[in-house]
A and B are shown apart, each in its own frame.
Chain A
Amino acid sequence: MNENPLNDGLRLEPTPGPTTFVIFGASGDLTKRKLLPAIYRLSKRGRLPAQFAVIGISRSEIDDDAFRTQFRESLAEFAGPDSWDDVAKSLASRMYYVSAETDDPEVYRQLKARLEQINGAEGVLFYLAIPPSVYGVVIEHLGTSGLSRPGERGWRRVIVEKPFGTDLASARALNQLAHQHFDEEQVYRIDHYLGKETVQNLLVFRFGNGMFEPVWNRRYIDHVQITAAETVGVEHRASYYEGAGALRDMVQNHLMQVLSLVAMEPPIAFTAESVRDRKMDALLAVQPLVEDKQNGGRPVLSNVVRAQYRAGWVNGSEVPGYLSEKGVSKQSKTETYVAGRVQLDNWRWAGVPFYLRTGKRLPKRTTEISIQFRRPPLEIFRRASQTSVAPDLLIVNVQPDEGISLRFEAKLPGTRMQIAPVMMNFRYGTTFGGEVPEAYETLLLDAMLGDTTLFARHDFVEASWALITPVIERWSGLGDDVPTYEAGEWGPPEADELVGRDGRRWRTL
C-alpha cells in the first residue's frame, strides 16, 4: 500500500507525512510571534501529521523545558489567553531544543542524531529564522553534514526568510550556495504576503472567472496602485532596518510579488512552475527604474521617491521621528517610505503605470491593490448631472480586512439625474464562515506538503534585485538629504508629484 487509501475523500484536506520542523533562530522574534502560534493553530485544526516534532536551535543556553516554556509564553501573547490547552501541552511534549552557535559543525552532528532519535529520518523542514548574514553558514553546514540530502523515505526542505540577499550580487551568491547543497525544489523562499487568502484569490479572481480577464489590460485599465501602509515605526528592528530600508524590506519582495500576480499572463495550469514562470515573465517586462538618460553625469531617478518620517501623531498618540528612534543613527539616510512608478514593456500593459507605495508611520495599516479603469469614452451624463463620473475601481484588500470591492457609478434615486459611486464588497472574514488561516499557517503547511507555488523561485528573487539594486546604488551615491514626511500623513509631497505628473492622484485610503 504505497498511497494512503483514507485520503480518498474530498473533505479530508491533505496532511503532510511524518515531519520534524527544525527552527534556526528558535528564541527570536519571528519564532515567537509567528512560527510557534502558526504551528499551534495548525495542530488545533488537525492539520499536522500524527508524527510531528519541533526542534528549536539558537544561541540561548536553555533546555527542552525552557523552550517549552517559551512556547507557552509565545502562545499567551500571540495566540490568545486560553491557548495553553491540551493541544498546546501535547505539542509542547514533542518540542526539543539544541543550544548552539550555528557555525559550530558539532551542532549539525547533534541535530542529525536528534532527528534520528525522534523522527526516524523522515520529512525534515528547516526554517532559517535567523539574521540574513548567517543564512550562508547554516546552508553550508546543512549541506556538508549531509542534512540537506533526502533519505530513502524522507524529504528535506529549507525555508529561507526575507530578505534573500541585500542586493543582486549577494542574492546570486546565496542562490549559488543554496544550489550547491539543495536542489531548487527543496528551497522555499518565503514571502508571507503570498500566504494571504486575498493574494491567492487574485489568481482565482483573474483566471477562474471569464469576465475580468478580457478587461485586464491597457485597453480598459487606466493605472494600478499597490499600497502597503504601516502605522508602526521601526520598533525593535532598528539594527536590521537601518541596513535595509523600505525598498529592500518591502518593495523588493512583497510589492514585486503582488505586482507580478496582478500583471502576469494566464498560466497554462495551476502548477507551481507554470504560475511561477508567468510571474517571472511579468517581472522581466518591468522597465528599469533608473533611467539611462543622464543628468549632470548621473542616471536619472525620476520614477522612485524615498522619504523618512518625522515626529507626528499616529493611532491616537504622538510618535517620535525616525532619527529619534532607539538604535537609529542621527545621520541616517535610511528610507522609511518609498513610492515608485513602474512600467511594463509588454502588449498587455504598455502605457499603464503601476504606482507602488509603502511606508511606516502612515495614517492607517492597510495593504491593497487598486485597479482603476478608464473612464467611459463619452461622458453623456455631464449635462444632466452636476457631479462628474468617477472611474470604476476594483480594490483587492490584502490586509487587514481581506476581500474584494468594486466601485461603480449608480444613479441616485429621484427625478433628477444625479450620479454617485457605490461600493460592492466581498469580505473573506464573513462570507464563507469559519476561520481564515493566517499566512504563516498556509505557507508552513504548503512547505510540509511540498507545494512551492506560493514561494519565490531563485530567478524571481534575482530579477527583483536586478530592478532594485540600481536604485540603491543611485541613492547611496547621493549626498542629498532624504525628504521627510510627518508621521501620520500619507508620505512626502514628492510622492504626490510622482503621480501628479501623470495627471493622477493616489487613492484616498
Chain B
Amino acid sequence: MENVVTTATAIEAREVPFSEIATAMVDVCPRAGAMRALVATVVAVGPPDRLDLATDTLQILGDAGTVRSIVISEGDEAAPSARVAGNTVALKGLKPQYVNNAVAALRLSSLPTLVWWRGGRPETLDELADLADRIVLDEDEPETSWRRAVKLFEATAFSDLRWARLTQWRALMAHFFDIPEVRSAATQFSRLRIRGGDHVSAELFAAWLTSSISFGAGFHVEIERGDEGAPIQSIHLLDQDQELMLRTGAGRTCIETAVSVRGHRSVSRIVALADRTPVDALTEELMIRARDLAFERTIQALVAD
C-alpha cells in the first residue's frame, strides 16, 4: 500500500497521528473551507496487498470533492499514523478489531457510509454492518462473505462489485422480456449458456435469471471459460428454435443483442458497453440508497445451492 495518498495527487499529503486527522483534512485541502455538497463517506477495507486498486479509485472519488474517502489496511498496529490529502485518509496496518472504531470516528456525520470490502477478518464485516449504510463486497473468492452477508441482510444493504458490473447485462436481458412474445416463451427456454472470463460473474447472472423466472424442469445452465479480460462475453438463453442473445462486439466497446422467438419477427441491435471501472461501479452504488432485493434473492439462491 505504498502509493496511499501519494504526492501524485494534486493535493499535498501529510502524515499525522489519528487524533489530528480532522484538523489535517481542513489544513491540506485548499477547497476544504469552501462550501461543498458532500454526499457520502466511502471506506475501503482489506489486506494491504488488495488495497492498491482501492486507493487509486478512492483518490479519484475523493478528488471530485463530494465524498470523503477512507482507506484502511488491516495489520497489527493499534495506533497507526494516517496520511491525509484533502478528502482522502489512509490508515495503514490497523488491527482488524479497531476498523469499525476508526470508521465511526472518521465518517461524515449524517450522510451515508459505503464500505468497499476487499476482504479481511470475517468478524470485521459483521461489525461494519452495524455502522455502514451499504457494503459492497469485492473479493476474488466471495462465497464466504456471501454466506456471512445473507445473515446480515437485515442489518444493512449489501451489494457486490461484480453485481454492479452485471447491471447492464441484466438490463439488456430484461429488455427482451418487455416483448410479450418473449414473456410467453419464457417457460420454453431450456438452456442458459454463459461465456466469460470470470466464473463467479457468470454464476451471479445465472442465479439472478433462474431465481427471477420459473423455467421448466430440466433447465440447464452451462458456463464456459472465456477470455480473462472480459468477465462476461456472451449470454444465450435458448430453446430448440428460439434464442435470446447478448454478446460483446468487436473491441469490446459494445454489446450486440438479438431476439428470435416464435410469433415475433427477429430484432437485433447494438448498445454501448458501459465503462465498468471501479470508479463507475462505486458511483453506481452511491446512487442506490435502498436494499437491493434482487441481489439478496440472487445471493440467497447461490449459497443455498
Contacts and interface: CB of A to CB of B under 8 A. Distances in A.
Looking at chain A's contact residues, is the secondary structure mostly helix, strand, loop, or mixed?
loop
The number of chain A residues touching the other chain, given as a range, is: 35 or more
B254 A50 contact: no
Contacts of B66: 430-433
Contact of B173 (A6, A8, A44, A85): A6
B183 A4 contact: yes
B185 to A, nearest CB: 10
Nearest to B209: A6
A11 B37 contact: no
A43 interface: yes
B267 A51 contact: yes
Contacts of A86: 249, 253-254, 270, 272
27 contacts: A1-B183, A4-B183, A6-B170, A6-B213, A7-B177, A9-B174, A9-B208, A9-B295, A10-B290, A10-B291, A10-B292, A10-B294, A12-B170, A12-B294, A13-B171, A17-B178, A45-B274, A46-B172, A51-B179, A51-B267, A86-B270, A87-B270, A94-B269, A425-B37, A431-B66, A432-B66, A434-B283
Contacts of B183: 1-2, 4
A11 B292 contact: yes
Interface string B81-97: 00000000000000000
B253 A85 contact: yes
Contacts of A432: 39, 66, 283, 286-287
B130 to A, nearest CB: 23
Closest 7 CB pairs of A and B: A9-B294, A90-B270, A6-B174, A426-B37, A424-B35, A433-B283, A50-B175
B270 A15 contact: no
Nearest to B259: A50
B134 to A, nearest CB: 12
Contacts of B217: none
A430 B67 CA distance: 11
A120 interface: yes
Interface string B196-223: 0000000000001100110000000000
B270 A12 contact: no
B178 A12 contact: no
A380 B99 CA distance: 49
A359 B274 CA distance: 40
A422 interface: yes
A153 B180 CA distance: 9
B108 interface: no
B100 interface: no
Interface in B18-57: 35-37, 39
A5 B286 CA distance: 25
A106 to B, nearest CB: 26
Contacts of B209: 6
Nearest to B271: A46
A167 B259 CA distance: 49
A15 B292 contact: no
A89 interface: yes
Contacts of A90: 268-271
B284 interface: yes
Interface in A206-251: none
